[in-house]
Amino acid sequence: MKTIRLILTVIFTYFLFRYFVIYEVMPKYDFRASVDLAAKKLLDHLKPGDIKTLILGDSALQSGLIPENISPGTYNFSTYAADPRLMLHEYKKIMQKNQRPLTCLITGTFYTYELRYVDDLFFKVHFFFDYYDWSEAVQMYNESKREGTFPARDLSPLEYYLKLTAAKLKFYGLGFSQLQSALWKVPGSYPMQRVSEISYATRGFAPIERKRFDDGLNDKYFAREFNPELTFDLYLNRLIEEGASAGAKVIFVMLPVYLGPGSEREAKYLNDLEKFMTAKQSRL
């Protein structure tokens, strides 16, 4: 009897903690979560045929394009740290809402995704924010094993499922600063509440300070050459094919990047990226 009571207590405590993290801590104290909450709300309230132009990409496009400046039927469903696989996943979810966008704008700020795949950002975002449910996460690993892509290419089943479980249970990926703010902050002002409201009202635009956006965008091009690896290339092709087969016009978007003095590496990166994108565009 004591064992059953202990198990029930642990389960109750976990779900209480999970609710606290997802609905009380993150949307109010974390920029990514507040924008993500707005995106989920947008998706739930879509009516068939609402989306005429769909924006898909990472945070650069999320904060770089304002839907209402493009057209009344434009929606921005870009996500932080997105890769082409997540973009394809989000596209399919949107299509399930009886949407048939005529145009898809895909971000062109693809910086070295191989770095993203081997670091913990993948788990701290893709699974922590529940973009994939448990069955989809299992399917992803099995599929990557057959294709020789990330994550099976880089992680053993044990490593993958341990990180996946920790992220899905919210024990991995929550920054101490967010938890501390929720526990000890004086009640009354939630700095990210307004961000979520703006993002919902503007159909997915993520408002961010100009300097923070510029610094983040330019940082993407430092240190390494543009070298799209297999996982990136494979799912980018599938995303293009999926959009084209649904009758959408797929357009690559490259946001302006300021190149200061001594930025030869960044210029080379952008030139290589442009060549890569031009080759992709010619296949559409």
Q: How do residues 192-217 score in pLDDT, each as one tens digit?
A: 667 888 888 999 998 876 555 555 55
Check whether 227 has a pLDDT greater than 80. no
Give dist(CA 71, CA 52) in Å, integer.
8
Write out the E strands in the chain: 53-56, 74-76, 103-107, 249-253
118 membership: H or E segment, kind and range: helix 113-118
Q: For residues 166 and 174, what is the distance between their CA atoms, to the nearest angstrom?
A: 10
- What pLDDT digit, counting tens, does each position of 126-143 carry? 888 888 999 999 999 999
The answer to whether 35 and 56 have CB atoms below 8 angstroms apart is no
- Summarize the chain as % helix, strand, coil (round to 5): 55, 5, 35
CB 75 within 8 A of CB 204: yes
Q: Is the pLDDT of residue 176 over 60?
A: no
Q: What is the mean pLDDT of the chain?
A: 77
The pTM (predicted TM-score) of the whole model is 0.80
pLDDT digits (tens, 9 = 90+) for 4-35: 888 878 777 777 776 666 666 666 666 777 78
| Tokens linked to 14 | 């976990």
Angle at 250 between CA 249 and CA 253, to 5 degrees: 130
Give, for 39, the enclosing helix (H) or strand (E). Answer: helix 31-44
Cα(147)–Cα(153) distance, rounded to whole angstroms? 9
Q: Are 242 and 91 in contact (CB under 8 A)?
A: yes
Among 123, 130, 222, CA closest to 163: 123
